Chain A
Amino acid sequence: MANQVIAGHEVAVDDEGFMTDPSQWSEEIATVLAKNIAIDTLTDDHWKVIKWLREDFAVEGETATLRRVSTLGGVGTKEMYTLFPKKPAKKMSYVAGLPKPKGCV
């Protein structure tokens, strides 16, 4: 556990760099986090996933898996792999300021 300064704000992160307090998140922070994982521009499609993930987390208390996003969030698996290449589950939750998903599918 440590604190990092992201976009001028001090936020708590875990050993892997994921934010640990979702309430410290902001869209400004998301933009900086995205750049940090080589996503230079967050498009409307990125924001759709990020916002859905956060809304779902607020209700469920855990980060949605890709399967959950594709069945309930309305963004298909292929699209998630295009938006957040190679490691979509980790990248999506990282930018959304949430823990990485615990579920296997």
Chain B
Amino acid sequence: MTTEQQEMAAPAFMDDGGDRKMAIICSKGTLDMAYPGLILANGALENGIETHLFFTFWGLDMVNRKTMNKLTMTSAGNTSMRFPGTSISMPQWMSWIPGMTKFQSWMMRKQIRDLDVPKVADMLQHVVDAGGHLWACKMSADMMKLELDDLFEEVEDIINVDAFMNLSEGAQVLFI
């Protein structure tokens, strides 16, 4: 550490680099793929970035009242699933053991909770409270016969791709 003295300048974070905007497309409905979008949205909002989440296809499960608290994950087709603390991939046949998906989902929920990360519904509410916007995809909602009332109450509207193009104008877009 030096003893150099400086004039008091505004801290670096006050320079927010202009009007940044982010649009995150959530297309997956599994527990493991729900969190990346939510965590990124939260991080963006904490940095003063205007943030929109667009739920499409299986991603609608994240905001469907019937499914949002029951997201699951499975080791089927996922060679990254390893026995905890080892480099050994879980054999695919294990996915077919009755109750395995339930157990793995429970395990992941527990790990998430142990990190003090909220469950999906609470995380969505946190994102909304921080100023984030939630939108549902019209084509997916039509296909799954979902109306706005079927969705998490903070979803602002069911919008088509044209509307999404408008709201994502000038945004950094992430597809998850």
Binding site for B on A (CB under 8 A): 1-6, 10, 12, 15-18, 32, 36-38, 66-68, 70, 76-78, 81, 86-91, 94, 103-105
Query: Which of A2, A86, A87, A105 is close to B118, meaning CB atoms less than 8 Å apart?
Result: A105
Query: Which of A1, A10, A18, A77 is close to B11, meaning CB atoms less than 8 Å apart?
Result: A18
Determine chain A's interface SS by DSSP, over half rule.
mixed
For B117, the chain A residues whose CB sits under 8 A away are: 67, 104-105
Q: Is B46 an interface residue (CB 8 A)?
A: yes
What is the chain B residue whose CB lies nearest that of A87? B48
Q: How many A-B residue pairs have CB under 8 A?
A: 82
CB-based contact A17/B129 at 8 Å: no
For A68, the chain B residues whose CB sits under 8 A away are: 116
Query: Which of A4, A32, A88 is close to B46, meaning CB atoms less than 8 Å apart?
Result: A88
For B9, the chain A residues whose CB sits under 8 A away are: 17
Check A66/B11 contact, CB under 8 A, given A4-B5, A10-B5: no
Nearest-CB distance from A77 to chain B (Å)? Answer: 4
